[in-house]
Structure 1
C-alpha cells in the first residue's frame, strides 16, 4: 500500500508552483502502473475497466465520495464499462501532491 493513501489533501487556492516534472515522475511510481503523466506534465490519467455499467457506476460513486472527503475533484469520462480519471490541480495549472494522494485512493477502490 502506498503511503499516499494515508495522507490527506491540503487546500490549494493557488499561489504555489506546480510540481516539477521530475517530482511528478517520482510520485507516479507510487501509483498503479496504468497511471500516465501527460506530455506537458500537467495531469495524470488512468482508465479503469469494469464488467458492466453497474460496476462502473459503483466505482464512480465511490470515487465521488473520496473526492468529497478530500475536497479535490478529478475530471471523469464515463462509459458503459470504463471510467477515465484525470487529475490536475486547476488552481495552479499543473500537478500537486493532492493529485497523487487522490489517485492512490482511487487505486485502492
Structure 2
C-alpha cells in the first residue's frame, strides 16, 4: 500500500466483499487528508463515505472542474456523487456495490485532489 494512490487504477467491484474496516479506513484516510470519513443513511443503512467540498470563484470554474472529474471517473470506472452550489461542489464517494468504502474510493479522491493541486 506504499504505492501512491494517484498512480493506482480502480478495480471492478461488483459486490460480494465486505466494506473496508475502520482500521483499513484509518490507514488510508491519511493519504487523502483533506477528505473526511462520514456516515450517511442510504436505504435504511448507515454507510461510511468520503466527503469533501471544493470551492471555486464562480459557476463556470466549478463546472470546468466537474468536466475534468468526469474524464477521471470514466477512465477509472468509478463515479462520485456530487452537488453543485454555484461556486462550490460537494463530493461524496463510496462504493455502492458494497454499501461502504473500498480502496477505489480513496484512489478516486486522490485523483480528484490532483486536479486542484496541479
Q: TM-score range by the shorter chain?
A: over 0.9
Determine the structure 2 residue equivalent to 1:63. 69
Structure 1: which 5+ runs fail to align?
none
Deviation at 1:34, TM superposition (A): 2.6
Q: How does 1:28-107 map to 2 (within 5 A)?
A: 28-31=29-32, 33-39=33-39, 42-107=48-113
Structure 2: which 5+ runs fail to align?
40-45
Q: What is the CA–CA distance in structure 1 between the aligned matches of 2:27 and 2:112, rounded to whole Å?
A: 18
Q: How many residues of Structure 1 are paired with residues of Structure 2 in the alignment?
A: 107
Q: Tell which structure's C-alpha radius of gyration is larger.
A: 2
RMSD: 1.3
**2:16 is the counterpart of 1:4:** no
* Structure 1 moving runs of 4+ over 6 Å: none
* Contact persistence 2:47–2:99 (CA under 8 A): no
TM-score by length of structure 2 reads 0.86
Higher strand share: 2
